[in-house]
Amino acid sequence: MVFEKLRNGLMALVLAGAVSGSVNAQAQERGTRTELEYLLLKPIQTQFQNNKEMEFRKVSLNPFEKPFDKATDEKTDWVYHGLEASYIALNVADYFLTYRALDKKSDKWQVQEVHPIMKNFIHNKALTALIKTGATGFVLYANRKLKKENSTAAYALLTAMNLIYAGIVYNNYQVNVKLDLK
């Protein structure tokens, strides 16, 4: 029903004078279509002959608004990118606060790395930085892959990782404050 109305509307525009009237009149007498009618109707007919659903896209009449595109929509996902940036910043803060606390000497407090894997590498700053950078990059890469499959899970996981690292950074900060008060 809708297709018939669209087709009739297109035909009316074509026949109303979008192309020369004599060509259309001659085509009607012969019972054939003009080239413009053929070009306008061929994609629509092909779409429906193949029983495919038509693809609808968001269209804006605002000339200053960019057209909707999935690729540009992913690039402007500021919430997700903010979570990624905050995850990176928290990892950097963890690295520097951990080494700041380990480098301080205190008579009252003995400071040591608690993380069981990093405990073995903590004496080599360059290796620790490399491992931390690789692990952070891998987590963000894997989370982006997850986001393509299930964006809700990706947001939840990245939020949880940010909360965990916020707790770790807060703990490292508290340790540094205690060491400064010695």
Distance CA 18, CA 64 (A): 29
- Cβ-based neighbours of 21, under 8 Å, separated by 6 or more: none
pLDDT digits (tens, 9 = 90+) for 36-45: 555 555 555 5
Would the pTM of this model clear 0.75, i.e. be above it?
no
* Three-class DSSP category at 5: helix
- Cβ-based neighbours of 139, under 8 Å, separated by 6 or more: 87, 161
CA distances from 130 to 57, 93, 122, 168 (A): 45, 15, 12, 19
Residue 39 burial (C-beta neighbours within 10 Å; 0-12, 13-18, 19+): exposed
pLDDT digits (tens, 9 = 90+) for 61-115: 555 555 555 555 555 688 999 999 999 999 999 999 999 988 887 777 778 888 8
Other residues' Cβ atoms within 10 Å of the Cβ of residue 99: 16
